[in-house]
Chain A
Amino acid sequence: MGNALSELVNGYVSGNIIGMLLLFGLLCTGVVKAETVKGCAKFLLGTMALFFVPFGVGIIDSYGVIMDNAVPIVVATIVSTFVVIVTVGWVFQLLNRTKR
C-alpha cells in the first residue's frame, strides 16, 4: 500500500510540494492507481496536524527574540492572517460565482 507513496519520498528531497504535484500527476495519468495510495493518504491527511507540534515547541528556543519584538510580530501575524483569509475567500467566491 505504501509502496507507491514511499517511491515518491525521493521527491521529498527536492521539496515535498514537488512530491505532491508528482503524485497528483501520476494519479491523473493513471500510472499510480488511486486505490493503491488511498488508505495511506487518508491516514496521513487525518493526522497531519500532529506533525506540526515540534515547530510550535520551537518557541522554547526563540522565546527571547520573539519577546523582544512581541508586539509587531503578534500584530503583523494576526492582521495579515485575517486579511488573507477574507481577501482570498472573497476573490475566489466572486470569480467562482460570476463564471456560472
Chain B
Amino acid sequence: MIRSIIESELFLVTLTIGMFILSGALFRKTKLMLLHPVLLTAVAVIVFLSFADIEYVHYKESVKILDFALGLSVVALGYLMYEQVERLKSAALPVLCATIAGCVVGIAFVVGIAAMFGVERDIITSIAPKSVTVPIAIAISEPRGGIVAVTSVVVFCTGILGSICGAKLLSVSGVNDPMARGFALGAASHGIGTARAIELGAVEGAMSGLAMALTGFGTALLLPIVEKYLY
C-alpha cells in the first residue's frame, strides 16, 4: 500500500516540487550560495530514492512532466527576448562575437583538458557539450557515442557551478555591464545560469536566454568538426 503510493508519479512529482519549494525558502533565509535550491533538491531526492529503493529509471519516467515543462520554459525564453528586443538590436556585434568566443573556448578547454588526462573517447564526447542546455547537449552527445547519463550530470553540475560562482567571478574580473554579465551566465551555464540571471534582472535574464540558445546552436555546429579533426 505505502509502496504503491511512494512509487506513484503523483507522489514523486510532488516530492520533487515540494523539496524545491522548501530548499528555496531555506536558501532565501540563509543566503548561503552552497545551499543552491536545485542542488539541495537533487540531493534530497537522491537520499529519498536510495532509502525507498526506487530505481532512477522509474523516477525519471515518473517525473517526465518536468522534462516537458523544461521544454516549455525554454520556449518561454522567446518572450524574455522579445521584451528586450530593442537592446538586442543595438548589440548584434558583441552578441555574435561573444557567442563564437564562448563556443570555441568552451569546447577547446573541455576537450583539451580531458584529452590531457588521457580520458577515453566516449567520456570526452559525453562531456564536450557541457555548457549547453540539457535537451540540446543530449542531442549532440548521444549520436556520437556519448553516455547520456554522464552528459546530463555534467551539464547539471556546470549549471550549478556557473549559477553559484558566476556573478561573483564576473565582478572580480571587472565585467559590470549587465548585458555582458547575463550573456556570460547563459553561455557558460545554460538554463540554470539563466534562472540565476533572471533573478539578477530582466536585462540579464534576456541576454542569458539568448546566449543559451546561440551557444546551443554554435556548439551543435562546431562539435562534429572538432571531433573529426582534433581527437
Contact = CB atoms under 8 A, between A and B. Distances in A.
A47 B83 CA distance: 19
Contact of A20 (B42, B77, B105, B109): B77
A48 B73 contact: yes
Interface residues of B, number: 107
Interface centre among A53, A60, A94 (most CB of B within 10 A): A53
* Interface of A: prevailing SS: helix
A52 B184 CA distance: 20
A100 to B, nearest CB: 9
Contact of A92 (B109, B177, B209): B177
Interface string B160-201: 111101100110010111011101110111011011101000
Given A23-B75, A55-B134, A62-B149, A17 B157 contact: no
B109 A80 contact: yes
Contacts of A59: 42, 46, 153, 156
Nearest to A59: B153
B41 A53 contact: yes
3 tightest A-B contacts by CB? A23-B78, A56-B42, A62-B149
A92 B94 contact: yes
A73 B69 CA distance: 29
B37 A49 contact: yes
A50 B56 contact: no
Interface of A: 5, 8-9, 11-12, 15-17, 19-25, 27-28, 34, 37-38, 40-41, 44-62, 65-66, 69, 71-73, 75-97, 99
B16 interface: yes
A44 to B, nearest CB: 4
Interface of B is mostly: helix
Nearest to A84: B188
A10 to B, nearest CB: 11
B135 interface: yes
Contact of B82 (A5, A24, A57): A24
A80 B110 contact: yes
B38 A50 contact: yes
A12 B79 CA distance: 16
Contacts of A20: 74-78, 81, 209, 213
A34 B127 contact: no
Contacts of B217: 17
A72 B117 contact: yes
A92 B98 contact: yes
Given A56-B38, A77-B154, A95-B98, A44 B69 contact: yes
A41 B79 contact: yes
